[in-house]
């Protein structure tokens, strides 16, 4: 029997503003779409945090034996500056500044995006469509919206008529914004003279003579609107209605709001049953911003070559840090936070690496099935990875108790413990196994091993004062020695 029949997920639906029991449209199958990057620059850590959250969701759904079609797009055209309907295309601008072809820009930063995600041990999506690969679908979608009376053409550009749409539908239901408030707060922007109303948004833009990226359409040589691209790609691969749509909190309005409107205007149905939004990543308590210099990219964080952090951190330590916060919470990236996560990560890995050496007993003194279900309960509660990690540390305590002879597990329970820990640590959280020596502390390990041998020699020579001195002085610097029947081991506190 598939695991999803035993485990019931409740997830927070941004559309309704509450947790709901998750029920896919087709039993055993899930369609999930996540807005991918606009590939005009290196992927930043805020993007990585969002994609990491949905990688964990994808992993857990697969772990529950769902067949998941995960679609994450690449925006390689149509995304104008400031997410508006005026200004220069972000990719075209980068190409002009560097005096290269736009598709060279796309290729460079798509490769960078994939390299970064591969470094952080992401699973690839099922499908990764590009906006430029779906121009025909976008033109067809615009034609449907025009035919249904919710769009109009002016001077070769096509705009979505938000006011007309709102007469029969609810524009703003995802972001909880009212059109009257939007009208009141809208300021006039250059380049919007063709619109009936400032709230209308572009479905197709006529290309100016200097605009490099352009395609023929019934209305003009031009390019699609940014919002339209995701509607076209999501419905092509997941159907008119699908289960989950994810993205960063900053996309809720206007991007995702416009996606809903486009789908309802063209196809007559709301596209998504469950909207999920990952929250923002801050750096030292402030918004990440290139203009203020309060930013660090993934390579700088991994290499330690930056002005914010005391050392380099491994990809798994960073994944562990991200998983210690709910995907819906603002996450503050700090050196103290990463140092604490690194310590916790290696403490967990130390326990995991003791598993194979544990010996089974005739009976169990720990209720492993109950502990296992607590792990599932955590993830079933809106993918609550911080609570899951707390339960994994509980298991680490069990492992050390068994090793020290303070607790016992039967063969069946020991195997269940191993299977469950491996599933959640590696398959669901996406961590990769490591030891303290992998973090650059192998010289420390070697030095402590020398002191352990000197202490053993002192004890053999009945020099107990020296033996105690070595133990006590190591303890003063946070290194605890543990004497057991299999020898002396140490841990760093």
Residue 460 has pLDDT above 60, yes or no: yes
Distance of alpha carbon 65 from alpha carbon 312, whole angstroms: 36
Look at residues 278, 305, 329 and tell me which one is the last residue of a structural domain: 278
**436 within 8 A of 445, measured Cβ to Cβ:** yes
Residues near 362 by beta carbon (within 8 Å), at least 6 away in sequence:
408, 410
* Enclosing H/E stretch for 316: helix 315-323
Look at residues 278, 312, 332 and tell me which one is the last residue of a structural domain: 278
pTM above 0.85, yes or no: yes
What was the pLDDT predicted at 473? 85
- Is 229 among the annotated ligand-binding positions? no
**Angle subtended at Cα 214 by Cα 208 and Cα 216, rounded to the nearest 5 degrees:** 105
Residue 427 has pLDDT above 80, yes or no: yes
- Domain annotation covers residue 434: no
449 and 417 both lie in a single domain: no
Total of domains in the chain? 3
CATH of the domain at 339: 1.10.730
Split at pLDDT 50, 70, 90, the class of 488 is confident
Look at residues 377, 392, 427 and tell me which one is the last residue of a structural domain: 427
- Is 375 among the annotated ligand-binding positions? no
- Domain annotation covers residue 335: yes
* Enclosing H/E stretch for 395: helix 385-403
Nearest alpha-carbon partner for 203 in 296, 121, 140: 140
pLDDT, tens digit (0-9, with 9 covering 90-100), for 66-83: 999 999 999 998 787 666
- Is 128 among the annotated ligand-binding positions? no
What was the pLDDT predicted at 463? 82
CATH of the domain at 188: 3.40.50.620
User: What is the domain extent for residue 397?
Assistant: 282-427
- Is 255 among the annotated ligand-binding positions? yes
What was the pLDDT predicted at 481? 85
* DSSP labels, 412-461: HHHHHHHHHHHIIIIIIS------GGGGTTHHHHHHHHHHHHHHHHHHHT
- Domain annotation covers residue 435: no
- Is 258 among the annotated ligand-binding positions? no
For 161-200, letters b (16+ CB in 10 Å) and e give bbebbbeebebbebbebebeebeeeeeeeeebebbeeebb
Percent composition of the chain: helix, strand, coil (DSSP 3-state, to 5): 50, 15, 35
Give 246's strand partners: 34, 276
pLDDT, tens digit (0-9, with 9 covering 90-100), for 115-138: 999 999 999 999 999 999 999 999
Parallel, antiparallel, or unpaired for β 242-248 and 222-224? unpaired
Residue 478 has pLDDT above 90, yes or no: no
288 and 266 both lie in a single domain: no
Distance of alpha carbon 484 from alpha carbon 413, whole angstroms: 24
């Amino acid at each position: 029997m598939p695991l999803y029949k035993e485990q019931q997920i409740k997830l927070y639906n941004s559309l309704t503003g509450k947790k709901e029991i998750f029920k896919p449209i087709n039993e055993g199958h899930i369609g999930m779409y996540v807005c991918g990057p606009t590939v005009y620059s290196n992927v930043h850590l805020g993007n990585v945090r969002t994609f990491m959250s949905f990688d964990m969701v994808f992993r857990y759904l697969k772990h529950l034996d769902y067949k998941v079609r995960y679609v994450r797009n690449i925006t390689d055209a149509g995304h104008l500056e400031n997410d508006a309907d005026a200004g220069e295309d972000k990719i075209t601008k980068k190409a002009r500044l560097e005096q290269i072809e736009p598709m060279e820009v796309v290729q460079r930063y798509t490769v960078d995006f994939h390299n970064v995600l591969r470094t952080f041990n992401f699973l690839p999506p099922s499908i990764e469509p590009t906006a430029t690969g779906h121009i025909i679908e976008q033109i067809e979608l615009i034609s449907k919206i025009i035919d249904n009376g919710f769009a109009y053409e002016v001077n070769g550009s096509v705009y979505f008529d938000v006011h007309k749409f709102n007469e029969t539908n609810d524009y703003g239901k995802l972001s909880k914004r009212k059109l009257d408030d939007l009208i009141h707060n809208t300021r006039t922007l250059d380049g919007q003279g063709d619109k009936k109303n400032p709230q209308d948004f572009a479905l197709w833009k006529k290309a100016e003579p200097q605009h490099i990226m352009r395609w023929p359409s019934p209305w003009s040589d031009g390019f699609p609107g940014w919002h339209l691209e995701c509607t076209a790609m999501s419905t092509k691969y997941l159907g008119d209605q699908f289960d989950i749509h994810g993205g960063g909190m900053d996309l809720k309005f206007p991007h995702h709001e416009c996606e809903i409107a486009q789908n309802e205007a063209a196809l007559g149905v709301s596209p998504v049953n469950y909207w999920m939004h990952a929250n923002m990543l801050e750096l030292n308590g402030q918004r990440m911003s290139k203009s203020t210099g309060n930013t660090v990219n993934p390579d700088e964080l991994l290499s330690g070559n930056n002005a914010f952090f005391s050392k380099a951190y491994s990809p798994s330590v960073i994944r562990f840090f991200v998983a210690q916060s709910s995907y819906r919470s603002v996450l503050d990236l700090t050196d103290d936070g990463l140092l604490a996560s690194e310590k916790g990560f290696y403490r967990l890995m130390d326990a995991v690496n003791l598993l194979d050496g544990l010996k089974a007993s005739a009976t169990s003194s720990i209720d492993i099935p109950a502990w296992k279900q607590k792990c599932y309960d955590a993830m079933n509660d809106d993918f609550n990875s911080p609570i899951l990690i707390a339960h994994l540390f509980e298991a680490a305590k069990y492992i050390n108790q068994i090793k020290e002879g303070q607790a016992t597990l039967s063969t069946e329970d020991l195997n269940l413990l191993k299977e469950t820990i491996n599933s959640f640590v590696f398959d669901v959280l996406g961590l990769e196994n490591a030891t303290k020596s992998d973090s650059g502390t192998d010289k420390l390990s070697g030095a402590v091993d020398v002191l352990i041998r000197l202490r053993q020699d002192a004890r053999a020579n009945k020099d107990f004062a020296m033996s105690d001195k070595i133990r006590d002085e190591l303890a003063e610097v946070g290194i605890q020695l543990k004497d057991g029947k299999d020898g002396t081991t140490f841990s760093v506190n």
